[in-house]
């Protein structure tokens, strides 16, 4: 992946806040959660880099969806 991790983290935070504010009632939410599981299979290094950057792991459905929404915006 050729995405700046700092920029990605800022977008992730925006997406997470949006999901939180809307109680996860957002179009594409369930699809994004499922897509994260698939993305993980071939992109573990990027996810691990992101986890290390934030000093936390992507562990909730909301975080998984925010991750994929951020990825969509930046790719």
pLDDT one-digit tens code per residue, 20-58: 999 999 999 999 999 999 999 999 999 999 999 999 999
CA-to-CA distance for 57 and 40, rounded, in angstroms?
A: 13
The domain segmentation of the chain, as residue ranges, is 5-74
Global pTM reads 0.95
pLDDT one-digit tens code per residue, 23-33: 999 999 999 99
pLDDT one-digit tens code per residue, 10-19: 999 999 999 9
């Amino acid at each position: 992946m050729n995405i700046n991790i700092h920029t990605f983290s800022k977008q992730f935070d925006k997406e997470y806040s949006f999901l939180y504010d809307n109680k996860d009632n957002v179009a594409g939410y369930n699809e994004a959660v499922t897509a994260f599981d698939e993305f993980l299979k071939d992109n573990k290094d990027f996810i691990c880099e992101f986890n290390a950057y934030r000093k936390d792991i992507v562990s909730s459905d909301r975080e998984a969806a925010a991750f994929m929404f951020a990825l969509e915006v930046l790719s």
